């Protein structure tokens, strides 16, 4: 019998208290506990005529303890972290084979543009947690991609992915991922995971979505723990183009979609460390013919195209590792006096080439709402960012000026050389996804090439 009913039979709160010789507060506690302590049973039985069975109350069973290795009902995927914690969820996208993909678990706070984010090569080696709960609403289309492949190793979302609703959608997100071999997990308390990444740093994790539904959790933990992490890892060479190619497509616009550059006025060689297509589109829209060269291109490989300007792209991994081969050609380009513009990893490599240092941020910047102040104008740009490493401003030599700073944590967001047409930014002026506030930088670059 429900404790409230028993109390009612006793004549209410006050009467029950009187009868059993306790305070009304105690009776309230019975309600909370959904039971009456056994020492009062004789008095209650005498007063109500109820039986002992009636007084047993709704016994509160101990919460079910899950065998951590066994998937709970309905769970078909798991995100397993190096410290042994397991986030169960429903898998979507591609099933994983053993060994399941392993990577650094990061979070991205953007509310739109998951397709662009997933195809950003800078996410190589990472599993992306989207903080916005509904991901997949607008499906997938062939235009909103930043590379021909998905570099991220998986994605973690809160809600089950829904059918898309958007006039541009060609397919749904799970289907799109399946065709690209990328697993996703839904049903995770992504906010709790985000707080954990924020406070404890980005952990290594494995995203398992096995077709057979079997999980060897200890093995997955071991796999995550054994993963060396991004520090010291050169991932650019995994995502760069294999050979040189020409780019002529311009930015998306409504209703035409992407166009083609006509009568380009400048020729830019873009070094592809994992370039987002929108950088190339922005260059084309600014009137440039773009020749894209692999990350490993030598100075000669670059200079033989006789570029009006050289662009250093974004990309994944530790700049120090990529710098091992990228710095020399960058120095050669600078020495040749060719205008040079770098973004993200390109910014970090430029800093290294100038003699500066980079370091891993305690908290990476990943989102489309990051404020950056242009120190020359005092203006604030809302920027799209995706980086876990940063340039150590104190390491920059004389003649190199920090030009932009993050208003979130004060870290360096841009630099320029005083004596050469060379500048770079840590953030993503090409956006996609994210705001277009910083697109003027492409014009600035073009301006350096002679208007």
Partner 1 sequence: MPKRTDLSSIMIIGAGPIVIGQACEFDYSGAQACKALKAEGYRVILVNSNPATIMTDPGLADATYVEPITPEMVEKIIAREKPDALLPTMGGQTALNTAMKLAASGALERHGVELIGAKADVIDRAEDRLKFRDAMAEIGIESPRSAIAHTMDEARAALALSGLPAVIRPSFTLGGTGGGIAYNREEFEQIVAGGLEASPTTEVLIEESVLGWKEFEMEVVRDSADNCIIVCSIENVDPMGIHTGDSVTVAPALTLTDKEFQRMRDASIACLRKIGVDTGGSNVQFAVNPADGRMVVIEMNPRVSRSSALASKATGFPIAKIAAKLAVGYTLDELANDITRVTPASFEPTIDYVVVKIPRFTFEKFPGTPALLTTSMKSVGEAMAIGRCFAEALQKGLRSMETGLHGLDPVEPPGDGGADAFRAVLSEPRPDRLLMAAQALRAGLSVEDVHGATKFDPWFLRELARIVEAEQAVAATGLPAHPAALRRLKALGFSDIQLARIADVPTADVAALRERLGVHPVYKRIDTCAAEFAAATPYMYSTYEGGFGDPVCESDPTDKRKIVILGGGPNRIGQGIEFDYCCVHAAYALREAGFETIMVNCNPETVSTDYDTSDRLYFEPLTAEDVIALVRREQQRGTLLGCIVQYGGQTPLKLSQALEKAGIPILGTSADAIDLAEDRERFQQLLHRLGLLQPENGTARSADEAEAIAERIGYPVVIRPSYVLGGRAMEIVYDRAGLHRYMREAVRVSGDNPVLIDRYLNDAIEVDVDCIADGESVYVAGVMEHIEEAGIHSGDSACALPPYTLPPAMVTELKAETEAMAKALGVVGLMNVQYAIKDDTIYVLEVNPRASRTVPFVAKATGVAVAKVGALVMAGRRLTEFALDDEAVAAHVAVKEAVFPFARFPNVDTILGPEMRSTGEVMGLDLSFERAFAKSQLGAGIKLPESGTVFLSIRDADKKGLPALARRLTDMGFAIMATRGTAARIREAGLPVTVVNKVLEGRPHCVDAILSGEVQLVINTASGPQSIADSFAIRRSALTHGVPHYTTMAGARAATHAMAALRAGTLEVAPLQSYFRGSF
Burial class (CB in 10 A: 0-12, 13-18, 19+), 58: exposed
* Catalytic annotation present for 66: no
Query: What is the smallest separation between the CB atom of 216 and partner 1, expressed in angstroms?
Result: 18
C-alpha span between 340 and 280 (Å, rounded): 15
Query: What is the smallest separation between the CB atom of 355 and partner 1, expressed in angstroms?
Result: 30
262, two tokens: 């006509």
Query: What is the smallest separation between the CB atom of 278 and partner 1, expressed in angstroms?
Result: 10
Instruction: Tell me which of 106, 288, 344, 417 is the catalytic residue.
Output: 344
Nearer to partner 1, 77 or 422 (CB): 77
Nearer to partner 1, 133 or 397 (CB): 133
Query: What is the smallest separation between the CB atom of 62 and partner 1, expressed in angstroms?
Result: 9
* Catalytic annotation present for 95: no
Query: What is the smallest separation between the CB atom of 157 and partner 1, expressed in angstroms?
Result: 11
Residue 439 contacts residue 282 (beta carbons within 8 Å): yes
Residue 341 contacts residue 290 (beta carbons within 8 Å): no
Q: CA-based angle 312:204:152, to the nearest 5? A: 45
Residue 302 contacts residue 334 (beta carbons within 8 Å): no
C-alpha span between 235 and 315 (Å, rounded): 8
With helix as H, strand as E and coil as C, how does the chain read? CCHHHHHHHCCHHHHHHHHHCCCHHHHHHHHHHCCCCHHHHHHHHHHHCCCHHHHCCCCCCCCCCCCCCCCCCCCCEEEEECCCCEEEEEEEECCECCCCCEEEEEEECCCCCHHHHHCCHHHCCEEEEECCCCCCCCCECCCCCCCCCCCCCEEEECCCCCCCCCCCCCECHHHHHHHHCCEEEECCCHHHHHHHHHHHCCCEEEEECECCCCCCHHHHHHHHHHCCCCCCCCCHHHHCCCCCEEECEEEEECCCEEEECCCCCEEEEEEECCCCHHHHHHHHHCCEEEEEEECCCCHHHHHCCCCCEEEECCCCCCHHHHHHHHHHHHHHHHHCCCCEEEECHHHHHHHHHCCCEEEEEEEEEEEEEEEEEECCCCCEEEEEEEEEEEEEHHHCCCCEEEEEEECCCCCEEEEEECCCCEEEECCECCCCCCCCCCCHHHHHHHHHCCC
Nearer to partner 1, 190 or 285 (CB): 190
Nearer to partner 1, 320 or 431 (CB): 431
Query: What is the smallest separation between the CB atom of 53 and partner 1, expressed in angstroms?
Result: 17
Query: What is the smallest separation between the CB atom of 342 and partner 1, expressed in angstroms?
Result: 23
Q: Closest Cα to residue 100, out of 222, 270, 16, 198?
A: 222
Query: What is the smallest separation between the CB atom of 225 and partner 1, expressed in angstroms?
Result: 20
Query: What is the smallest separation between the CB atom of 310 and partner 1, expressed in angstroms?
Result: 28
Question: Backbone phi, then psi, for 8, in 5-degree steps?
Answer: -60, -45
* Catalytic annotation present for 288: no
| Residues with a known catalytic role | 344, 428, 430
């Amino acid at each position: 019998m429900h404790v409230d009913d028993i109390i009612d039979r006793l004549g209410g709160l006050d009467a029950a208290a009187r009868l059993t010789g306790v305070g009304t507060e105690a009776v309230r506690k019975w309600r909370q506990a959904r039971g009456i302590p056994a020492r009062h049973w004789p008095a209650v039985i005498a007063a109500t005529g109820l039986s002992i069975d009636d007084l047993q109350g709704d016994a509160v069973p101990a919460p079910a303890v899950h065998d951590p290795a066994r998937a709970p009902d309905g769970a078909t995927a798991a995100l397993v972290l190096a410290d042994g914690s397991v986030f169960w969820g429903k898998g979507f996208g591609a099933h994983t084979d053993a060994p399941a993909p392993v990577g650094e678990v990061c979070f991205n706070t953007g509310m739109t543009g998951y397709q662009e984010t997933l195809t950003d090569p800078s996410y190589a080696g990472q599993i992306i947690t989207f903080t916005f709960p509904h991901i997949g609403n607008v499906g997938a289309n062939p235009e909103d991609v930043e590379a021909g492949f998905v570099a991220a190793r998986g994605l973690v979302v809160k809600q089950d992915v829904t059918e898309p609703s958007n006039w541009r959608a060609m397919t749904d997100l799970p289907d799109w991922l399946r065709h690209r071999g990328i697993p996703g997990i839904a049903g995770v308390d992504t906010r709790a995971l985000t707080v954990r990444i924020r406070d404890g740093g980005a952990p290594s994790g494995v995203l398992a979505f096995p077709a057979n539904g079997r999980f060897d959790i200890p093995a997955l933990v071991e796999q995550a723990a054994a993963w060396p992490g991004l520090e010291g890892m050169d991932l650019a060479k995994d995502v760069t183009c294999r050979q040189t190619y020409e780019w002529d497509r311009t930015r998306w616009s409504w209703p035409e979609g992407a166009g083609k550059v006509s009568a380009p006025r400048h020729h830019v060689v873009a070094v592809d460390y994992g370039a987002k297509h929108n950088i190339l589109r922005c260059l084309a829209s600014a009137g440039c013919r773009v020749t894209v060269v692999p990350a490993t291109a030598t100075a000669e490989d670059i200079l033989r195209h006789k570029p009006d300007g050289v662009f250093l792209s974004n990309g994944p991994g530790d700049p120090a590792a990529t710098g091992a081969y990228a710095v020399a050609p960058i120095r050669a380009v600078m020495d040749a006096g060719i205008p040079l513009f770098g973004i993200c990893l390109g910014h970090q490599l430029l800093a290294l080439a100038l003699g500066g240092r980079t370091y891993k941020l305690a908290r990476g910047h990943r989102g489309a709402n990051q404020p950056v102040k242009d120190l020359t104008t005092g203006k604030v740009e809302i920027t799209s960012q995706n980086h876990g490493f940063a340039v150590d401003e104190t390491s920059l030599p004389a003649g190199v000026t920090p030009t932009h700073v993050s208003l979130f944590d004060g870290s360096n967001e841009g630099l320029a050389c005083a004596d050469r047409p060379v500048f770079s930014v840590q953030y993503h002026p090409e956006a996609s996804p994210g705001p277009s506030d910083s697109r003027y930088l492409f014009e600035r670059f073009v301006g350096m090439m002679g208007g």
